[in-house]
Amino acid sequence: MRRIMKRLTYQLKNLRKDKLCLLTFLLPIVVGIVINVLPTMNTQTLGEMSFGCVKSDLPAKTVRWLRENGTLTEYGTLGELETAVNDPATQMIGVLRSENGIRTLLSGDELKLYETTGKTLPRLYDNRMNKIAFSQTIVPIRSNYDGLKSLLIVITLVTAMFMGCTFNSMNIIGEKEDGVALVNQILPMGTGDYILQKLTLGFIGGCASTAICAFLCIRIAPAQIPPLFLLIVLSAYTASLIGLFIGYFSSGLMTGIVYIKILMILFLAPPIIFYLVVPTDNVVFPLSYLFPSSAAFYGLMDVLGGQAHRPWLNLAILAGHAGLLSGIYFLIMAKKRKRQ
Amino acid sequence: MIEVKNLTFSYGKEKQALHGLDFTVDDGEIFGFLGPNGSGKSTTQKILTGILNGHGGFVSLFGQEVTSARTREFFQKIGVLFEFPYLYTNLSAIDNLNYFASFYPERQVRDVNELLEQLEFKKDFLKKPVSSYSKGMRQRVSMARALISNPRLLFLDEPTSGLDPSGAVLFRKIIEEERRKGTTVFLTTHNMVDADLLCDRVAFISNGNIVALDTPRKLKEKNSSHQTVIDYLYRGKREEKTVEAAELEEGFFFPHDEILSIHSQEPTLEDMFIQYTGRGLS
Amino acid sequence: MWKGFTHLLKKDLKMMLSGKFFLLALFSLVLYSCYINLVYVNLEQEDYQVYLFDPHGASARQDAPSGQNEHVTDVGSRQELENACADGVSIGIDLSAGTPEIYMLSSGTQTADHYRTEWGKAVLTKIMDEKAVLSETTDHEVEIIGAFDKEQKSRREITCEFLFFELSAVGFLGLASILFKEKQMGVIRVHGILPVHKAAFILSKLCVFLLSDLFFAILLTFINIGFGEGLAILPGILAQAGILSLVMALVGFLCAVWLPDFKQFSLFYLVLAVFITTPVFLAGQTGVSWDWIIFHPMYHLFTAMKSAYFGVATTSFPFYSICAGTTALLFYIAYRVLAREMTKEG
């Protein structure tokens, strides 16, 4: 054990001097700090309805009502409002005064929720005065995070988790480039020892980077710590396994970097897009679980959202990915040994 | 120590690299394996060290067939110096050697500092990263890596490559010391001086076949022209005379004022190399 | 001196074709197109789901015509209702007690919760009073002013983003990888003593990558927007793709010559990818507004590209002047850096 630790220490020392690994390690931490201190960021826009109106067109009570229900941006002219409504990056609904109340402007390219909102808004506005008797219970979210901030934190944490693959893949590729891979073949070291060493490298890197980042960005209830811990551990293990694959299949540094780049796109883009756009009950949604990062992403969102009971499904999916990838890697190694 | 019978190997279906090699290497022997580029030297060494598999014929090391011998114990008994100095470039010489040493039983491992001192490694660089070393310094660290485990069988591929003449002399001295300790050395080289000075026996390999195998002396004798050339002065003029061995045995006289030099005309190992392999040194 | 340009061009073309980046571009094209056509265009954000717990049959809903209540789902217990609302989006209505209760899990945003309450109230009005609040408004109350439907918009938006990403990140990497190969082989030094103008060395690389990027843009546009619609907006797209390609290729060239090895270059690349393209992507994709984003040069290139995809040509003279000036400046710096590198290596 002492000797294994000694070897690992030298491997970590080697990685510590690798600028790419160092940057990979520090980058999520720096981004985490930036997220915490960036004051100019408008972090209250996700999940809200976005309304636009022409300045001085709407009565004060309408403006107030709209502001109660979403963000309201005022434009100088109707043309400016129309441009904003037509901006494909937004789902803005234009609101104008009409004889009986309000009328709306839609671009026609909105997602269904916003389209329905645009089409029913005048009726909802009329209904505001309806004195129907009802009581209301809004269960507060057990989280200190608003939509965009938690999204950015989770993106950073998932990046840190899956960037763990950089540590061991760069180590393996570096060994290939420096020729140490050839030396490894004549060392009294079993395949198991080798896999364990490389797996631990990626795991330590991914875990440490994510843990520091989480420490900087997240303040959660003690009940959320176990699922967060398990999410970090499982994701770092999965990332480390992916690092082994990248190291195995990369012929050189350039190829390795390209593989990591593709992987990061594949691992980061789908969960973000699915999270933002696809409701969880949509039939397409489970497709995102094809990527292990999605389970980590949704799990972290749940942890940040204070929903301690939900991460377990994501943890199970993540564990499934880890098991499957482990199996594939060991199969490849067994096949390689057999071929030899 | 090493026994090779009818060793064949091919890269793919049509690229036969070795065509049935036969040789043995005795305990404590320095065996030179010489051949031009692409002749099959590295392939043979890779098979012997267990890096390359899928060969035909019989290869045994330490009395055990190489395919079944590829165990942790097997690798503990061998040391390999590759053609290029393969090291972790971010780590220092000390760190590299300590790391590689950690794979061997502690009782077997040599002292890193002593070893580097023996290899005349510059002390200022001991803790600097390998990336800042010259080729000669890297080669010294590589040699130290090969020797760190006190191997019983040492594979050396171009050991003096990248070294200045004094470094080459030092390396030869170290290899001689290893022989004295009883280490068997399998030396792959292009350097005919190394082979001539160090090897008990040499094998010339060409196109995957061993074309000659003997002691350097015997190889040279076998191909000697049995002539001597004498440079001399006679009546103020420089002249040259070739004398057959038989003439020398009988004793002979020739008119001369002063003998300037006598050349035995024995072929060098390099001449043998060219003669057997049909190619010059590259 | 310029006679050697065609030879340089041929050589660079061969190097690009023999490299893996050509395959990578092909792979990206297939991947992006599959994602757009199979996933992205099908993405939808459905209306709020309303869950009703009505154990005593208090609602008048049984007799109500279907239509506006299509999002109301009956649940059997309070627990079921709470579980259904745990997503922070759905709305629950509990009619088990005397006074109806609107129940929901906060979405984390006060205004969104308020709007959901309004929605729940409208559904409750329908349930209790049979007043169809959520029936769609008449034509004069809602006006559609856009030229595209959701699918057209989705296709244009995401195709634009993929092209932007491909040109700014991958194209940059492609040129640098070729240059690093030449650097490693030492042939940059050889070019220093060849009778070829140094500018030709840069220009040939720019031409090759510009052509490949434009080709990529054409294919990506036609595959994902369609031939007819794609053709109409192609000139604008090619203009913006050309500008972006040139700028990024020159930046890639500069970095590749400047930085000593590919590893350092990849560090720079990582920083570029994270800090430069991510804010642009977030601003473009989510509509998040940052005041400082207008100082981000890539944001303007992205906006111009997006406008081109939506058929609005960027005609701003300052924009094109700045682009031309930047390209010229980058070319000049690249020329100087290359000259220094050749001298240094020579």
Q: Is residue A30 part of a domain?
A: yes
> Are A54 and A162 found together in one domain?
no
- Whole-model pTM? 0.69
Per cent of chain C over pLDDT 90 is 14
Domain B2-220 = CATH 3.40.50.300: yes
HSE-CB of A62 using CA atoms within 13 angstroms: 25
3-state secondary structure C2-37: HHHHHHHHHHHHHHHHHCHHHHHHHHHHHHHHHHHH
Which of C103, C108, C136 has the CB atom closest to A119's CB atom? C136
Predicted confidence (pLDDT) at residue C63 exceeds the cutoff of 50: no
> Are A23 and A122 found together in one domain?
no
Which residue bears the tokens 């520090």? A26
To 5 degrees, how large is the angle CA C73–CA C74–CA C78? Answer: 120
Residue B172 DSSP SS3: helix
Residue B25 DSSP SS3: strand
Q: For residue B111, what are the contacts with CB-CB under 8 A and spacing of at least 6? A: none
pLDDT one-digit tens code per residue, C173-202: 777 777 877 777 777 777 767 667 778 888
Tally Cβ neighbours within 10 Å of residue C66.
8
Q: How many domains does chain A have?
A: 2
Chain A nearest-CA residue for C283: A89
Which of A7, A13, A180 has the CB atom closest to B86's CB atom? A180
Mean pLDDT for the stretch of residues C268-293: 69
> Are A120 and A184 found together in one domain?
no
pLDDT one-digit tens code per residue, A65-111: 999 888 888 999 999 998 888 887 778 899 998 887 888 999 888 88
Chain A residues with CB under 8 Å of B107 CB are: none
pLDDT one-digit tens code per residue, C213-243: 999 999 999 999 999 889 999 999 999 999 9
Distance between CA B227 and CA B248 in Å, rounded?
A: 9
Q: Is residue A178 part of a domain?
A: yes
Model pLDDT, residue C346: 43
Antiparallel, parallel or unpaired: β A93-97 and A49-54:
parallel
CB within 8 Å of chain B, chain A residues 180-209: 180, 182-183, 185-190
For residues C32 and B221, the model is more confident at C32
Tally Cβ neighbours within 10 Å of residue C44.
15
Model pLDDT, residue C135: 63
> Are A83 and A188 found together in one domain?
no
Model pLDDT, residue C220: 94
Domain boundary pick from A94, A127, A160: A127
Residue B31 contacts A, CB cutoff 8 Å: no
Distance between CA B71 and CA C142 in Å, rounded?
A: 79
Q: Is residue A135 part of a domain?
A: no
Q: Is residue A134 part of a domain?
A: no
Q: Are A130 and C128 in contact (CB under 8 A)?
A: no
User: A161: burial class by Cβ within 10 Å (0-12, 13-18, 19+)?
Assistant: buried
Residue A89 contacts C, CB cutoff 8 Å: yes
> Are A265 and A175 found together in one domain?
yes
Q: Is residue A133 part of a domain?
A: no
Antiparallel, parallel or unpaired: β B15-25 and B2-11:
antiparallel
Residue numbers of the domain that contains A6: 2-39+146-339
Task: Of B55-64, C6-15, C265-274, give the lowest mean pLDDT range.
Answer: C265-274
Residue B127 contacts A, CB cutoff 8 Å: no
Inter-chain contact A145–C108, Cβ cutoff 8 Å? Answer: yes
User: B11: burial class by Cβ within 10 Å (0-12, 13-18, 19+)?
Assistant: exposed
Model pLDDT, residue A30: 84
Model pLDDT, residue A95: 92
Q: Domain map of chain B by residue range?
A: 2-220, 225-265
- Exposure string of B21-42, with b = 16+ CB inside 10 Å and e = fewer, is bebebeebbbbbbbbbeebbbb
Q: Is residue A205 part of a domain?
A: yes
Distance between CA A89 and CA A112 in Å, rounded?
A: 15
Type of residue at C278: T
Mean pLDDT for the stretch of residues C48-53: 86
Q: Are B96 and B85 in contact (CB under 8 A)?
A: no
Residue A225 confidence class, pLDDT cut points 50, 70, 90: confident
Residue C269 contacts A, CB cutoff 8 Å: yes
Distance between CA C294 and CA A171 in Å, rounded?
A: 40
> Are A61 and A118 found together in one domain?
yes
Phi-psi region for residue B50, left (φ > 0), alpha (ψ -120 to 50) or beta? left
**Beta sheet of B209-214, edge-to-edge order:** B78-81, B153-157, B184-189, B30-34, B201-206, B209-214
DSSP category for residue B92: B
Residue A45 confidence class, pLDDT cut points 50, 70, 90: very low
Q: Is residue A141 part of a domain?
A: no
pLDDT one-digit tens code per residue, A5-21: 888 888 888 877 777 77
Model pLDDT, residue C345: 46
Inter-chain contact A254–C262, Cβ cutoff 8 Å? Answer: yes
> Are A191 and A309 found together in one domain?
yes
User: Which residues, in sequence order, are bridge partners of residue C94?
Assistant: C53, C101
> Are A88 and A113 found together in one domain?
yes
Predicted confidence (pLDDT) at residue C328 exceeds the cutoff of 90: yes
Q: Are B43 and B67 in contact (CB under 8 A)?
A: no
Q: Which of A66, A77, A80 is nearest to A118 (CA)?
A: A66
Chain A residues with CB under 8 Å of C105 CB are: 138-139, 141
Series of mean pLDDT values for 10-residue runs along chain B (282 residues)? 88 81 90 86 87 85 79 87 88 90 88 90 87 89 92 90 88 91 90 87 87 84 80 90 81 85 80 74 49
Q: Is residue A281 part of a domain?
A: yes
pLDDT one-digit tens code per residue, C240-254: 999 999 998 898 888
Q: Which of A170, A248, A163, A246 is nearest to A14 (CA)?
A: A170
Predicted confidence (pLDDT) at residue C20 exceeds the cutoff of 70: no
What does the mean pLDDT of chain A come to? 82
Which residue bears the tokens 């009005």? C125
Length, in residues, of chain A: 340
Q: Are A315 and A232 in contact (CB under 8 A)?
A: no
Chain B residues with CB under 8 Å of A180 CB are: 86-88
Distance between CA C166 and CA C26 in Å, rounded?
A: 11
Which of B76, B91, B104 has the CB atom closest to A14's CB atom? B91
Distance between CA C154 and CA A69 in Å, rounded?
A: 26
Residue A178 contacts B, CB cutoff 8 Å: yes
C51: enclosing H helix or E strand: strand C50-53
Q: For residue A226, what are the contacts with CB-CB under 8 A and spacing of at least 6? A: none
Radius of gyration from C-alpha coordinates of chain C: 28
Domain boundary pick from A62, A95, A127: A127
